[in-house]
Amino acid sequence: MPQILTPDKMPKVSVIIPNYNHGRYLPQRIGSVLRQSFTDFECIILDDASTDNSREVIESYAAKDERISFYPSANNTGSTFIQWNKGVHLAKNELIWIAESDDSCTPGLLRSLVNCHLQNNDIGLAYCQSMGINEAGNVTGSWKEFTEGMDDDLFNENFVMEGMEFIRRFLVHKNVIPNASAVVFKKNVFMQAGAAVESLPTNSDWLTWLKILVNKKLAFVAGPHNMFRQHPESVIAKHSSAHTTFYKEQYDHTMRLLFEAWCKQNKVRLKKEILSVNHQYISYDTGNRGLYSFHNGKWLQGLMDIARASVSPHFTLGYIRKMFREARP
């Protein structure tokens, strides 16, 4: 029988808000955290040497609420995942919510996700559905569209699933947990997974979820409690504009290789179907990287990647044909 969420049984939570130059969004973000119906939490706010008014905004809130502790950095690290790991290291409690500084949420987010952990100790992470919002905070749509075509019914309701099965059906294909602000995870499980990989500019969240779920269950809450903001200054937008479409495939490729290497190192046996699909995506990314390199003056590197993608995981002439087709005037 599920346990009932009562004050004497409620696990405490550490809320981590990693910030860089999101002063304009911080009042909505911090306010949405402080208005949670679940109130037994500490709030750790990090600032990665912002150059806007972030520090003043954070200090004004910290002065009014004793649950807030503020840790400004003297120098900019340039990595949200370095901030993740710093915040988790500082956290005093067993459950972690990384509430990204440009997002927002409903008052019920934390209670609903904490309750999932309370009902099943085998859950490594619980997450909820997200709504998209723009710079002004206006709702632009539901992220349920992100999983349409993968399973049209499953994400309409709450569910609990074995992590490896969730990887097989969804997470090996794409990051269907697209926003950390929608997730509450166990600190010890995060640390056992090796924490966030700081060398990845993006996709370290995806890699983290994969490593957590090879050994733990996942809980999903269909209620759209999270508000995922998209704007030109977001981490993804910055990397996308800096690297064009190539950046995504490059970091996907690296992330997938790191996932397999971590599983091998930690003696995690992935199902054959998961490995097969992962290898196929690695091949796609290698081939697309080869085409990009070939058509941007790096002919030898491009040809080597195209050759690799043409023989692994099985023989195909698709990328060779595409190379010649795109080379025509």
Give 67-88 pLDDT, tens digit per residue.
999 999 999 999 999 999 999 9
Mean pLDDT of 22-47: 97
User: Contact 286/305 with Cβ under 8 angstroms?
Assistant: yes
Task: Name the pLDDT band for 323 (thresholds 50, 70, 90).
Answer: low
What is the model's pLDDT at position 235? 54
The answer to whether residue 41 scores a pLDDT higher than 80 is yes
- Cα-trace Rg, the chain: 21
Whole-number Å distance between alpha carbons of 210 and 215: 9
Helix (H, G, I), strand (E, B) or coil at 271: coil
126 burial class (0-12, 13-18, 19+ CB within 10 angstroms)?
buried
In Å, how far from its chain's centre is CA 15?
16
Residue (of 304, 303, 256) closest to 276 by Cα position: 256
85: phi then psi, degrees, rounded to nearest 5: -65, -35
User: Contact 86/71 with Cβ under 8 angstroms?
Assistant: yes
Domain-by-domain residue ranges, the chain?
13-231, 239-327
pLDDT in tens, 120-152: 999 999 999 999 999 888 999 999 999 999 998
User: Contact 65/150 with Cβ under 8 angstroms?
Assistant: no
The answer to whether residue 328 scores a pLDDT higher than 70 is no
Whole-number Å distance between alpha carbons of 48 and 19: 6
What is the model's pLDDT at position 282? 86
Query: Could you identify the residue written with the tokens 């999983």?
Result: 147
Please tell me the least confidently modeled range out of 91-95, 112-116, 156-160, 229-233. Answer: 229-233
Whole-number Å distance between alpha carbons of 6 and 220: 21
pLDDT mean across residues, the chain: 88
DSSP letter at 131 equals: E
75 burial class (0-12, 13-18, 19+ CB within 10 angstroms)?
exposed
The two structure tokens encoding residue 175? 């990051």
Mean pLDDT of 307-312: 72
The answer to whether residue 6 scores a pLDDT higher than 70 is no
What is the model's pLDDT at position 327? 59
The answer to whether residue 265 scores a pLDDT higher than 80 is yes
Q: Which fold has domain 13-231?
A: Spore Coat Polysaccharide Biosynthesis Protein SpsA; Chain A (3.90.550)
The answer to whether residue 4 scores a pLDDT higher than 60 is no
The CA-CA-CA angle for residues 302, 304, 308, to 5°, reads 115
CA dist 18 → 23, 30, 134, 180 (Å) = 12, 11, 20, 11
